[in-house]
């Protein structure tokens, strides 16, 4: 009787951070709301997109929400951003994050987003 083969090691799946997905080779970030979504931007790396999501959530939902439900990274990583966001509107935060992304604002997204 041939020896039994060892079971294959489990394959680690590529974990996709909260609030992002891959779209046409770029990572798209958005926040869902009851009445639609807030498009945050497209980014070249998964980390950039995840951090943009975290920053937008911190402004939109607050630190208490982030502590209760979690972000992709630690809240303490964003202390400087939280302080800066105090003097900004949600729209200003989203627009500044979009400028950091790959596409300032894709034309097909204008119709689907809250901040045009």
- Tens-digit pLDDT profile for residues 40-78: 999 999 999 999 999 999 999 999 999 888 899 999 999
CB burial of residue 88 (10 Å; 0-12, 13-18, 19+)? middle
Residue given tokens 């931007």 in the structure block: 41
Cα–Cα nearest to 27, from 115, 109, 103: 103
Confidence of residue 9 (pLDDT cuts 50, 70, 90): very low
Count of positions (residues) in the chain:
116
């Amino acid at each position: 009787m041939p020896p039994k083969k060892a079971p294959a090691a489990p394959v680690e799946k590529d974990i996709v951070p909260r609030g992002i997905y891959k779209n046409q080779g770029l990572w798209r970030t958005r926040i869902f709301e009851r009445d639609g979504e807030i498009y945050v931007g497209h980014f070249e790396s998964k980390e950039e997109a995840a951090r943009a999501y975290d920053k937008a959530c911190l402004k939109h939902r607050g630190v208490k929400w982030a502590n209760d439900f979690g972000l992709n990274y630690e809240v303490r990583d964003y202390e400087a951003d939280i302080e800066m966001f105090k003097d900004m509107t949600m729209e200003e935060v989203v627009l500044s994050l979009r400028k950091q992304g790959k596409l300032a604002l894709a034309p097909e997204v204008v119709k689907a987003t809250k901040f045009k």
